[in-house]
Structure 1
């Protein structure tokens, strides 16, 4: 949104804001006990598959041997399975109106409270960027949950098939299968994934006693060596709340009413109508990830 200037920010500029928060791939994989070069190459080629430069069958042919050698019994061979509901079930989509976002970070706080994320991990972040010279200054707020991509590169590079796509459009993680290799972190072009190191909020009494349900599974006390510690975590559109018929915490608490959530398969839904607006765009559409988070500029 503009602070003083009424300059229209272009979708490409919003994508550049995302680029500024992406982790350094080499530094990220240096923390992993697994082959860094393999992870980097898979992330690169996963983008090629999305852009049509490489066939998915060739991708698996190239990496099958290396994955078997590196991950052994953990490696789940074969192409990822993505269920399609053929329009018969809900396809969850979030629409964020950037003209209404005031940058209050309520979504970030409510998300942390709902999902009890550890220090350093926020599923929902709001990035700010100031541009121009006074008095022609503009301030841009860009909220970023997980994009829940229809063509997710994170799913493609996961050697254990711990990351997969639900038929309702949500990209989920089976934390019991996840080995924390971090390949999905460097493959995600939106910086939406984090590794759980097991850190705690020492000043918050009872923080470790109960964890948020990870994709609908109540895991109880949080401690070293127990899932989700040592695995990858990310926004799930508050899947456990959807199961109860509720909206994601960030949508429910947004003080500017900037977030909308619903079934895009329903032509009468608010999100369907907003997605058809000339103001609508998606981040990094040129990659072919087909995000389920739609922005209005």
Structure 2
């Protein structure tokens, strides 16, 4: 049976430190103002703010905020691959990961329009610009190109070396788990069998490979 690589994120213990987002940015040498991995919050009217009110003396706190690390969901039934006219976005048959071929991409952005997960893909309108004059990430990470769509790759260049995605490796709270969802003995499968979980926009029928423990 082919692998179905996926990720399980423990929302109860995520501290929203953004280490995963920063590791992703550096590992993949992402251009300025581009993030493949974002930390979103659900609470107050502004991102990063809780709902409720800070308690006065003797009162119970009503503050509440949920943290959602969000990137490409590497769907089992991806909407993006169905609309790409040149096959630039495709599912890797060996791992189930949704990949992007920059050399094939014609910049039509149909994949961005079809994807129900807003903001997980980015488009290079111009030649990518960087904060420093030399690459800072893994030398095997793909080079960024003008007029192409980009997104999380599950760090496929690291997987080829037997390593985990950078975001999993650096998480200080160890809330990210990565493995084969088709293997019932894998850590990710055992976590899903023992804990309650949710997925983003299940009603869209995309069957994401990213699960959130609640």
TM > 0.5 fold call: yes
Please classify the TM superposition score into its range, dividing by the shorter chain length: 0.7 to 0.9
**Any gaps of 5 or more consecutive residues in structure 2?**
43-49, 55-60
Deviations 1:70-124 (A, max 9, x none): xxxxxxxxxxxxxxxxxx2321010000011100000010000100111121111
Cα RMSD (Å): 1.9
Secondary structure of the 2:211 match is strand
SS in 2 for 1:175: coil
Equivalent-residue separation in structure 2 for 1:115 and 1:212 (angstroms): 9
| Alignment counterpart, residue 171 of structure 1, candidates 91, 98, 119 | 98
- One of 179, 193, 198 as aligned partner of 1:276: 193
**1:214-293 alignment runs, 5 A limit:** 214=142, 219=143, 228-293=145-210
CA shift, 1:276, in A, is 2.0
Q: What's the CA shift string for 1:171-204, capped at 9, x where partnerless?
A: 0111111011111112111121110232312x41
Larger RCO, structures 1/2 (Cα 8 Å, 6+ apart): 2
1:207-262 deviation digits (Å, cap 9, x = unpaired) = 49996523xxxx4xxxxxxx622101000110110110000000000001000000
SS of residue matched to 1:132: coil
* Structure 1 residue ranges, 4+ long, deviating more than 3 angstroms after superposition: 207-212
Conservation of the 8 A alpha-carbon contact between 2:28 and 2:137: no
Corresponding residue for residue 146 of structure 1: 72
Residue matched to 1:188: 115
1:44 maps to: none
Quote how far apart the aligned CAs of 1:159 are: 1.3
Structure 1's 138 and 211: CA in aligned 2 closer, same or farther, altered over 3 A?
same
TM-score when normalising by structure 1: 0.63
- Identify if the C-alpha distance between structure 1 residues 277 and 287 changes in structure 2 by more than 3 Å, giving closer, same or farther: farther
TM-score scaled by structure 2?
0.86
- Structure 1 segments unaligned to the other structure (5+ residues): 1-87, 220-226
Name the one with the larger helix percent: 1
Q: State whether residues 96 and 260 of structure 1, in contact with CA within 8 Å, keep that contact through their aligned partners in structure 2.
A: yes
Query: Structure 1 186/212 Cα, relative in aligned 2: closer, same or farther at 3 Å?
Result: farther
Tell me: CA distance 1:287–1:277, structure 2 relative to 1, closer, same or farther (3 Å): farther
User: Which has the greater radius of gyration?
Assistant: 1
